[in-house]
Structure formats: structure tokens, C-alpha cells
Homo-oligomer: A and B are copies of this chain.
Amino acid sequence: MTPEEFRRHGHQAIDWIADFLENPARYPVLPSVKPGELTDALPASGPECGESMDRIFADFERLIVPAMTHWNHPGFLAYFANSSTGEGILGELFTAALNGNGMLWKTSPAVTELEQVALRWLREWSGLPESWFGLIYDTASTSSMHAIAAAREAADPDSRTKGARPGLVVYTSQQAHSSIEKGAIAVGIGQDYVRKIDVDDDYRMRPDALAAAIESDLAAGLRPCCVSATVGTTSTTSIDPIPAIADLCERHNLWLHVDTAYAGAAAILPEMRWAFAGCDRADSLVTNPHKWLLTPMDCSIFYTRRPDILRRAFSLIPEYLQTAQDPRAINLMDYGIPLGRRFRALKLWFILRSFGREALAARIRAHIEMAQTFAREIDAHPAFERVAPAPFSVVNFRYTGSDDDNRRILEKLNSTGEVFLSSTVLKNRFTLHLAVGNYGTTPQHIAKAWSLLKSAAGV
């Protein structure tokens, strides 16, 4: 494509996207395609000769868009809802055009430094210690794997050269995200050495159970190395008691990782800061702007007070990547697995500046209020019951019938194309899960979901 063709098709694309952003609800939130349908509609082989972008765009509209689950639909109320705002989209556009790669400072000073600047801004807004170091990975799963690898390095510095040896133990709660277990598998700690600590009735890790598990492992000659606690667990957004957990970590010299992948965005609200008490005592923390901070996929921030350990675990500098040493020219490839580094900070910087802290906080605050209003509706209705506290913007609830009744209600609701809720299992019961987090979601969308729910339940 020539630059002039890019100009023409680029303007078309911008108009298409502006129309889409004006009304993302024009498409059903969940597509009606069946598995394999898109695959079968596309040629089995790629074209020998090039095709026109007009034709490719036409197929994009005809085949791809209708096979999308529309995360940008304001009725997307499943998992952790998220958004790509105009600012974020433009950031990604420039990122793709400049195509910078921040493996070394030298291979793109702006990629390296803007990442540090944006992460410093957000760290300050979130009340995290000024001295912390941060960098961006693709997903929270990758960030948490790096936390566990750093914990392994801290507990067993020989593991880098001699390999992991059985007996290191990682602690997390029964409500933790599956990525903690996956990270422990990946770095060679093993599933048998992941303790999923009991939670209390509000789905929070029990410090007494954690203390007992650590003592028991120590008595068995094992080597506790890491606790991964969560502020905002995946099912219920429960808040583990970080101060008590931090006490235990200090006593036993364990790496404390805090997964705030979803809830971390709420730390910029003064009135929500209580939920993050004790996080400043963590060794590492993950927060994903691509979840609740209006940033398009992907952007997961990993903060750590101990970058030296992370660097010791992962730094390897081959001859072809040797550069002059300068304390202000950090090479981010030294701090993890990926060598190449996309300019992800640009979209985040656009968003932080264009919104400013107040407007970002106002949007998150509005999401929390919508969820609280919905929780009150559930609490007040005799045919529904709430299953967990709702400290943030997620509500877990059930129709007061069987699991199958609830499954049917969910299926009926989601087949409307107007809203998409997801489910989980809490105390062995199938549970409906409503998450507010999309930029465009308004109280009207929640009211619609509520009305559809009651109608699906026949009440």
C-alpha cells in the first residue's frame, strides 16, 4: 500500500471506527456464529496475488465484525468488563506506525523512558511507594509469573544456574486467579507446592490458615517462598487482608506479590484507598490498565520494590546487544522474558493526560455506583439473592432456584444480544456475575440487564 493509499484507507477506517464508537451497541454483544463458521467462510489457502483493501475491508465488515464478542459494547457486563477509548485507539495507531522496540534504551529511548514516566504518574496517583520500579508486560498472567520467578530467585539464588529444586512453596487463596498456579507450574515450582489457602465467608484469604500452612510446610522441611494475595479477586472482587499477610511475609521472609489486575485502577480514588491498605509493603504488585483504566489490550503493569532481584533472575546480555552503561539508560529486556517491547506506554500516556486523574476517577466511581445500585436491587428482591459482598463494581448473585434455573436465565439473557453476563461457582453453587467496567455503560444499561433478568426468571 502506498502512503496515499494508506491515507485513503486510513480515513475510511477512522470514519468506520468513529461510527462504531458512536454506537457500539449496533452489534449484538455476543455473536451468533457457531464454532468453525468463520473458518469455513474463509479460503483454506492464502492468496497468491494481492487483493484490494476495499475487498479486504468488505470481508472484515461482513465476516469478522459479526464474529466478534464485542467487549466495547456497553452491555458487556461479564468477567472484568473493559474498554478501548478513543485516546487508547489513537495511541495504538501511532505505536503501530512508529513501530519502536524498547528492548534496549538505545533501540528506542522514548519507548523506555515514557514507560517509566507513565508508570511513575500512575504509581503516585495510586499511593504506591515512590521508590518502586515498574514495567509493562502483556498480561497479568505474565506479570504474576515474573513475580513468582523473582520470588524463586530471592529464596534460592542458585536456581538460576542449577535449576529449580522441589520444595519451594507458593501460597495463594482459593479465590486467586488461575495464573498464580500456572506461573508456579511454569517456573518449575509445581502444582503440588501451591497452597490454596482457605477463605472466610467473604472470600478473603484467612491469615490464620496461611500462618498454619507456612508452619506446617516449614515443619515438613519445605521452603515457603512467596505469597500471592489479591485485592479484587476474579470471581467476587474480595480483598485479602494485606496488612496481616504482609506481617506473615515479613516474619518468614517471603516475597509478597499482590494481584490488583482488575481493582488496581480504583486506587486512584481517595475513598477507595482503604482497599489497598498494606499494598505499599508488597515486594511486587500487578495492575492492568487494560482492565479498568480505559486502555485497549494489552497493558499490564508490574511494579516491584526489588528490581535488583528481577534483574538477577533474568538479565542475560549477549554480545550483539551490548551497549554503553548509563544509570539513566535502563534496558528493559533485563527485567523479564520478552526481549522485544512494544510501545505500550504511548496509549497509556494519552489516556492519563487526556482524561487526567479526576475524570478517570469519576468514571471508575460511576461504575462502582452502578454496581452498588444493582446490588441493592438484588438485595431488595425476594426472587434473587446476593452471594458475595461487592466492594468494587462486580456483583455476584443468584435467582433463588436451582443451578439449572440460573443457567437457563443466563442463557436466555445472553441470547438477547443486549447484555452479556458471565458466571462462576461460589460455595458449590452456580452464580451469576455482573461486572461494570465498560466506558460506555450507563445506569440505563444496568436497568436493562435487571429488567431482562427479572423477565428471564419470570418474576
- Option from B52, B90, B160 in Cβ contact (under 8 Å) with A185: B160
The answer to the question of A412 belonging to the interface, with a C-beta cut-off of 8 Å to chain B, is no
Query: Quick one: given A38-B113, A110-B68, A290-B340, are A320 and B13 in contact (CB under 8 Å)?
Result: no
Instruction: Provide the main secondary structure of the chain A interface.
Output: helix
0/1 interface trace, chain A 397-429, chain B, CB 8 Å (1 if under):
000000000000000000000000011110000
Our pick among B17, B69, B159 for the contact of A109 (Cβ within 8 Å) is B69
Q: Which of A32-81 contact B (CB under 8 A)?
A: 33, 35-39, 42, 44-53, 56, 60, 63-65, 67-72, 79
Contact B111 A68 (CB under 8 A): yes
A88 beta carbon closer than 8 Å to chain B: yes
CB distance A69 to B108 under 8 Å? Answer: yes
CA distance A118 to B122 in the complex (A): 37
**Nearest B residue (CB) for A15:** B7
Q: Write the chain B residue with the least CB distance to A116.
A: B39
In the complex, A52 Cα to B359 Cα: how many Å?
13
Q: Closest approach, in angstroms, between the C-beta of A87 and any C-beta of chain B?
A: 6
For residue A129, CB closer than 8 A to chain B, the reply is no
Cβ of A441 under 8 Å from chain B: no
1/0 per position for A86-103, CB-CB distance to B under 8 A? 111111111111111100
CA distance A61 to B440 in the complex (A): 30
| Interface residue stretch chosen among A18-26, A202-210, A213-221, A447-455 | A18-26
Q: Is residue A271 contacting chain B, with contact meaning CB distance below 8 A?
A: no
Find chain B residues with CB under 8 A from A5 CB.
86
- CB A102 to nearest CB in B, in angstroms, measures 9
Contacts of A346 in B (CB 8 A): 60, 64
Q: Judge whether B3 and A117 touch: CB under 8 Å.
A: no
User: A230 in the interface, Cβ–Cβ < 8 Å?
Assistant: no
Bound together, the chains give a CA A423 to CA B111 distance in angstroms of: 22
Q: Which residues of B contact A353 (CB under 8 A)?
A: 46-47, 50-51, 56
CA distance A211 to B2 in the complex (A): 51
The number of residues on chain A lying at the interface, defined by a beta carbon within 8 Å of a beta carbon of chain B, is 161
Most chain B CB atoms below 10 A, which of A10, A84, A162:
A10
**A372 located at the interface, meaning its Cβ lies under 8 Å from any Cβ of chain B in the complex:** no
**With A11-B14, A138-B338, A328-B36 in contact, is A46–B314 under 8 Å at CB?**
no
Verify B46–A357 contact, CB threshold 8 A: yes
Across-interface contacts of A152 in B (CB, < 8 A): 188
A92-B92, A93-B93, A235-B320 given; 15 more Cβ-contact pairs under 8 Å: A39-B117, A48-B358, A53-B350, A64-B114, A68-B98, A71-B99, A84-B99, A89-B97, A139-B338, A145-B337, A163-B190, A290-B340, A298-B340, A298-B342, A320-B433
Given contacts A5-B86, A39-B113, contact A93 B96 (CB under 8 A): yes
CB pair B46–A140 under 8 Å, yes or no, is no
Residues 115-139 of A contacting B (Cβ, < 8 Å): 116-118, 120-122, 124-125, 138-139
Tell me if A187 is interfacial: C-beta within 8 Å of chain B.
Answer: yes
A339/B140 contact (C-beta < 8 A), A121-B46, A320-B234 known: yes
B10 and A14 contacting across the interface, CB-CB below 8 Å: yes
Q: How far, in whole Å, are A79 and B107 apart by their CA atoms in the complex? A: 10
B residues in contact with A185, CB < 8 Å: 160, 313-314, 316
A445 within 8 A of B: no
On whether A234 and B45 interact (CB within 8 A), knowing A97-B84, A163-B192, A354-B56, the answer reads no
Set of chain B residues within 8 Å of A359, measured between Cβ atoms: 49-50
Q: Mark A349-378, 1 if CB is under 8 A from B, else 0.
A: 010111111110000000000000000000
A392 contacts partner chain B, Cβ-Cβ < 8 Å: no
A193 within 8 A of B: yes
Distance from A146 Cβ to chain B, minimum over Cβ atoms (Å): 9
Complex Cα gap A1–B86 (Å): 6
CB-based nearest B residue for A319 = B425
Interface: A436 (CB within 8 A): no
